[in-house]
Amino acid sequence: MKLVLGLAALLTVASAAVSRPKDQKVSYDGYKVFRVAVAHEVNKVNSIVKDLGLSTWKGAPRAGAFSDIVVPPTQVDAFTKAIAGLDAEVMHEDLGASIAEESVFQTYAATSVNATWFNSYHAYTDHLQWINDLKALHPGNAEVVTAGKSLNGNPITGIHFWGSAGKGVKPAIVFHGTVHAREWVGTLTVEYMAYNLLTNYNSSAEIKGFVDKYDFYMFPVVNPDGFIYTQTTNRLWRKNRQSTSGSTCIGHDINRNWPFQWSVTGGASTDPCAEDFKGLAQSDAPETTALAAWLKTVKANQGLKLFIDYHSYSQLFMTPYGYSCTAVAAKNTELQALAKGAVAAIKAVHGTSFDYGPICTTIYKATGSSVDYVNDVVGADYTFTSELRDTGTYGFVLPAAQILPTADEAYAGVRYLLLNMK
């Protein structure tokens, strides 16, 4: 395993990236977000989005689904006239105000490695500090690791912890968060997994059993460049910060770039300006290349029992495959049974309902995804991806008050898996 750089070096790299934003900060003041029910009017809604040059939050409008559409103040009147007669509601009356309320970060100190961390969102450098502080509280069975570097040289930073047998000798469990930069609640959910398992290792026989049985690798932010950009420039940025030859548009979708079923059509965009741009070639995003190689190394060295990629939003717990709606994973029957149990466990905590099933039939077709790659190329025993809260009331701009409940119920789903995986 590759050890992390020193904290001072990490903070220097992160601070340098934060201090050199190339673009003017994007304001969403006065923007509204509408949820439109798309029954048989998919062509109409797609035409409205295209004609008015609008962006959507969960991909292109699809028949039988809701479309969450971001509308600037100059287009609100035209948009509301265009959707007259369709079933629609306003998710955010003023998106800029919602972002401002969400982005009030609490002051962090090293003594704050406790549950209060999950009361707010945080600056990227504070996340790095927190990971190092959590490790420092558990020097005998935790270390900070990196899975490589981003395009801008930011280490893809995680925490590795283990039980009584020592490090690197038990099968690995790996969680990814925030591959899509704007999905902030995923960052804190993955951190909560590490916090809960480490802080309760000595007091809970069940948790001690989990940590003694597996090595855990938690990566809260696998797209650090994009995450930093959401905090300095554009809160709703999704991709990495990679340029593309022949285009002025920036960013590759890291989760459409993995080197498995990348060339299948219909599950990602070939347009560099699209939010799901797959890249010019598979694994041409440095983050994807680094993560793919790191996961293969873990599999070879100690085996990979479980991989989960955390996203938001939609409240889903999904299995392979994304690239095809007809292909069936080798362990599909077992995966569906585990997913069903996980969503029941999630609901038992706060009453939050999740759906489950293969990615393609549960949410949409997605090619070149981490889950399909880890399932078929790396060969993890169990592979899932989860879309966390909510289902559209707040979308990507989830209030800070929902961070801890989101993480708490997500852990319940993981607990079910740990108790029931073979």
Contacts 24+ apart (CB under 8 A), 8-11: 10/128, 10/132, 10/155, 10/157, 11/125, 11/128, 11/129
Q: Is 287 noted as a catalytic residue in this protein?
A: no
CA distance 233 to 124: 13
* 3 state DSSP class of 385: strand
Angle between helices 184-199 and 124-136 (to 10 degrees): 10
Looking at residue 12, its amino acid is T
Task: Say if residue 373 is preceded by a cis peptide, omega within 30 of 0.
Answer: no
Cβ neighbours of 167 (radius 10 Å):
15
CB 173 within 8 A of CB 217: yes
CA distance 351 to 344: 9
CA distance 346 to 299: 28
Start-to-end C-alpha separation, the chain: 26
CA distance 202 to 73: 54
CA distance 8 to 14: 10
CB 310 within 8 A of CB 403: no
CB 176 within 8 A of CB 167: no
Angle between helices 124-136 and 7-19 (to 10 degrees): 170
CA distance 145 to 133: 13
As to burial, measured by CB atoms within 10 angstroms (0-12 exposed, 13-18 middle, 19+ buried), residue 215 is buried
* 348 closest CA partner among 410, 286, 289, 267: 410
Catalytic residue chosen out of the listed positions 102, 191, 387, 409: 387
As to burial, measured by CB atoms within 10 angstroms (0-12 exposed, 13-18 middle, 19+ buried), residue 93 is exposed
Question: Which residues carry out catalysis?
Answer: 387
